[in-house]
Amino acid sequence: MTTYSAPVEEMMFLYNHLKDNKDYNEIQKFKEINSDLVKDILDQAAKINQEIVHPLAKVGDETPCVYENGVVRSPPGYKQAYQQFIKDGWTSLSCDPKYGGQGMPKTVSTFFEEMLSSSSLSFKLYSELSIGAYHCILHHADTKIKNKFLPKIVEGKWSGTMCLTESQCGTDLGLIKTKAEKQEDGSFLLTGQKIFITSGDHDLTENIIHLVLAKIPGAPPGTKGISLFLVPKFNVNDDGNIGTRNGVKTLSIESKMGIKGSPTCVLNFDNAKGYLIGKENKGLSSMFTMMNLERIIVGIQGLGIAETAYQNSLAYAKERKQGKANNTNTEKADEIIKHADIRRSLLSMKSIIEGERSLSFWLSQQIDVSLNHSDENIRKNANDLVSLMTPVVKSFFTDMGSEITNEAIQVFGGYGYTKDQGIEQLFRDNRITPIYEGTNSVQAIDLVFRKVLKEKILNNFLKLIQKEISEHNNNQQLKKFSNIINDKIDIINKFSNWLEKRNKEKRDDVSASCNDFLKILGYLSLAYSWFKTTKVSLSLKDQNKNFYNEKINTANYYFDKILPRINAHYESATSGSDIIMNAKFG
């Protein structure tokens, strides 16, 4: 079984020293949230994750959810843990106090999301989509529905799902067949089947609130005719109490490679009563409020799982003895952490994880600004940056999660391949993250065709990076990093120009290069984060030399050993698509 210790010191370093967004610091309602309060929240979060949630990871994998007699039963211990979880108020952390929430900013709740992902992704998934459903209802439902459903969701006594996928369509939602027929009282009756529904049914909450995409008869074809509906597992009376069972039935749960403690359901809607959220035929845009939030959170899942993989690899490398690390004359075997290649593996993990955590903290500030700042233009500029970085965080963090969990298995050797250590479970649990909430290839296509070529919002981010490094041109200790970043910005600008040209002449060239472009932007974004981290570490290193010198050394590793991957991605992508498209495949 793995162990986990929440990196509270790392998180507090970011909160205390990299909360440097001027617009964020202007948000009035967050000014009372000080460092002491955040430290207390993170300490309490660490305690429940380390002591209660993390032990459930192995339990859920070895004793998965079961479906029997029409009921989905969660793994042993999940019910008790969930009751403690909601009693302590963790589902309400970032929610509006109007509905019983604590009103914490994303800069705080994102740290908690990471801890939960590190501890047990299966357990996390029971509450994760509830927060997504909360945001969707909050932004798009009428007041009556908000008042009726949100308090129980915020409290954690009711959970939420999103129901998009059907057997004939995943990404192409214009093909959905689920229909919604309007009734005289203004409600709708939904009929159809949804698959791959995370936490679609379970025994942890009193009710489950499904957000369902469906088409009203006579609606326009394709995605322009999709509407969004709230469909509860149990109908809710006007007084807020649970009433009769609605026409929602679980047909089966999937047998999966990982996240076995979380039920992935096939749901059948048979004249299930639902309520329109937002306007008719505008359901997809409403659902994107939930989907975009989930995509960022999925990226945090990749980060969280990678952190656990790194911690356990480091601990094992300090204990496991194998061979001699250098040309000493002693016959005694050395701990494998003394071997250069193992140290390379560990530093690769560390430099990517810490860079990602810093980037996600930066992005959390942008999200808070986009939602809460009083100036509309400032909100829009922040929202553009969030929009640009959403596919990057979702795809890059989860791909790196796969790389890091794979590397962790390698550090453990044969023991990593067996189930005893729990390392192979981290690889299996993470493997879903590049797939769900829009596959990483779809995210890359969205980034290039929509965000870069159509909306042209990449330059805003590049200007932000250039402004940061130009302000420190006279700092000789940062000069090396500045030069490297400028070189990589030249590459991404050349790549962007190449994409513009090829999109007019040969679209296959662009399609074939989207993943490479996303990777380049991901690596560059982490370089930006490491530049900011190094800047702070240089100014503070006399206060805690071990901590800050380690930061500086890890930053140097990232710039020297990881960032050169950008060049390879650029050369591969700009070689074109002829070889790919000419392949016959038998």
Cα 177 to Cα 219: distance, rounded to the nearest angstrom: 12
437 in active site: yes
Residue 190 · residue 269 · CB < 8 Å: yes
Closest to 412 in 3D by CA, of 304, 306, 308, 320: 320
Longest dimension (CA), the chain: 89
What are 310's two structure tokens?
């790194």
**191 backbone dihedrals φ, ψ, rounded to 5°:** -135, 130
Crossing angle for the helix pair 106-119 and 283-319, to the nearest 10 degrees: 60
Cα 231 to Cα 178: distance, rounded to the nearest angstrom: 13
Residue that is written with structure tokens 């490479």 in the block: 516
Q: How many CB atoms lie within 10 A of CB 318?
A: 11
DSSP 166: B
Half-sphere exposure of 173 (CA within 13 A, CB side): 24
Choose the catalytic residue: 166, 437, 468, 505.
437
Cα 398 to Cα 415: distance, rounded to the nearest angstrom: 24
Kind plus residue range of the DSSP H or E element containing 248: strand 248-253
Closest to 395 in 3D by CA, of 447, 345, 344, 330: 447
Half-sphere exposure of 90 (CA within 13 A, CB side): 27
Cα 103 to Cα 275: distance, rounded to the nearest angstrom: 27
Strands (E) across 13-157 are located at 66-68, 71-73
Cα 536 to Cα 558: distance, rounded to the nearest angstrom: 17
Residue 398 · residue 427 · CB < 8 Å: no
**Local structure of 391: helix, strand or coil:** helix
Count of all residues that appear for the chain in the document:
586
Residue 60 · residue 251 · CB < 8 Å: no
* Residues contacting 318, CB < 8 A, separation 6+: 335, 337
Strands (E) across 254-365 are located at 264-277
**212 backbone dihedrals φ, ψ, rounded to 5°:** -120, 130
Q: Annotated catalytic sites, by residue?
A: 437
